[in-house]
């Protein structure tokens, strides 16, 4: 199995794509560290993995809190002494036009979606061995977006720039960094989007992906099979961008 004896740290591991990624990595032999805010949801993720014979723990962590991130990584390193795979999936959205958006919401979103990626990269890199990988979960909103989600789209565009820039600072034979950009995926974030509910953003259900399909792509990008892929974004959207 591709992740036997690997320690895989996944943010947003309590639902949607993050949970599916945790389950996929656990099924492939990883020791999964699932991060999230809700202990009940985290326990459910761990239960799914362990019932299938995998290994997992949940750690509560608010990615808007830099001290919480530092404490969590310290706990992981103390327990496991390394991080082989870092998957940054957790994200938040806002749904107001920028002219009406309190900048405090902008700041919180950037903390969760973008600054946490930078901080986790900084903290984990010294403990990432040869063959390790970072996978940042972007979005097709980095390339084609709608009104009312400017902060989210901005954070995802910046995330892909971060990946490109960090690829110049990392030796890909030691640690690779890439992004995966999902399209519409059957997750709570999609169906709770007010733009989807009110019809401003039209979703063709035939092109809505499954979290497990994204997890497969993320696992590939994190695996040794992708050893020559570095500093790029893999779009996994059922052809959504190609239709524009």
What residues have CB less than 8 Å from 235, skipping those under 6 apart? Answer: 140, 143, 181, 183, 241
Q: Which domain holds residue 22?
A: 7-243
Tally of domains within the chain: 1
Residue of 3, 58, 152, 162 with catalytic role:
152
Asked if the model's pLDDT at residue 13 lies above 80, the reply is yes
Q: Does residue 1 form part of some domain?
A: no
Where helices occur in the chain by DSSP H, the ranges are 16-27, 39-51, 66-80, 103-110, 116-124, 150-169, 188-191, 194-197, 211-222
pTM of the model: 0.94
Question: Which tens digits make up the pLDDT trace of 32-70?
Answer: 999 999 999 999 999 999 999 999 999 999 999 999 999
pLDDT at 90: 97
Question: Which tens digits make up the pLDDT trace of 160-214?
Answer: 999 999 999 999 999 999 999 998 887 776 666 666 666 666 666 667 889 999 9
Q: Does residue 14 form part of some domain?
A: yes
Q: Does residue 147 form part of some domain?
A: yes
Q: Does residue 55 form part of some domain?
A: yes
pLDDT at 84: 98
pLDDT at 132: 98
CATH code of the domain containing 82: 3.40.50.720
**Closest to 180 (Cα-Cα) out of 21, 31, 2:** 21
Q: Does residue 87 form part of some domain?
A: yes
Determine whether 152 is an active site residue: yes
pLDDT at 104: 98
Residue 115 is classified by DSSP as I
pLDDT at 129: 98
Q: Does residue 2 form part of some domain?
A: no
Q: What is the mean pLDDT of the chain?
A: 93
> 101-114 burial, b if ≥16 CB within 10 A, otherwise e?
beeeebebbbbbbb
The region of weakest confidence among 81-90, 98-107, 111-120, 179-188 is 179-188
């Amino acid at each position: 199995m591709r992740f036997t004896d690997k320690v895989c740290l996944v943010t947003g591991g309590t639902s949607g794509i993050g949970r599916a990624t945790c389950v996929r990595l656990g099924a492939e032999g990883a020791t999964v560290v699932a991060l999230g805010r809700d202990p009940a949801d985290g326990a459910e993720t761990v239960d799914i993995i362990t019932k299938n014979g995998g290994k997992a723990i949940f750690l509560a962590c608010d990615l808007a809190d830099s001290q919480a991130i530092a404490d969590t990584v310290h706990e992981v390193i103390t327990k496991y002494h390394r991080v082989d795979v870092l998957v940054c999936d957790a994200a938040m959205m806002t749904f107001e036009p920028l002219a009406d958006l309190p900048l405090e919401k902008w700041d919180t979103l950037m903390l969760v979606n973008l600054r946490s990626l930078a901080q986790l990269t900084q903290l984990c890199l010294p403990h990432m061995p040869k063959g390790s990988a970072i996978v940042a979960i972007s979005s097709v909103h980095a390339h084609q977006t709608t009104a009312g989600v400017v902060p989210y789209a901005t954070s995802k565009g910046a995330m892909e720039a971060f990946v490109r820039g960090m690829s110049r600072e990392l030796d890909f034979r030691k640690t690779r960094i890439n992004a995966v950009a999902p399209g519409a995926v059957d997750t709570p974030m999609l169906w709770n989007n007010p733009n989807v509910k009110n019809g401003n953003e039209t979703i063709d259900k035939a092109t809505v992906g499954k979290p497990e399909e994204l997890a497969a792509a993320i696992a590939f990008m994190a695996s040794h099979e992708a050893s020559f892929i570095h500093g790029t974004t893999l779009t996994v959207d059922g052809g959504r961008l190609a239709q524009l």
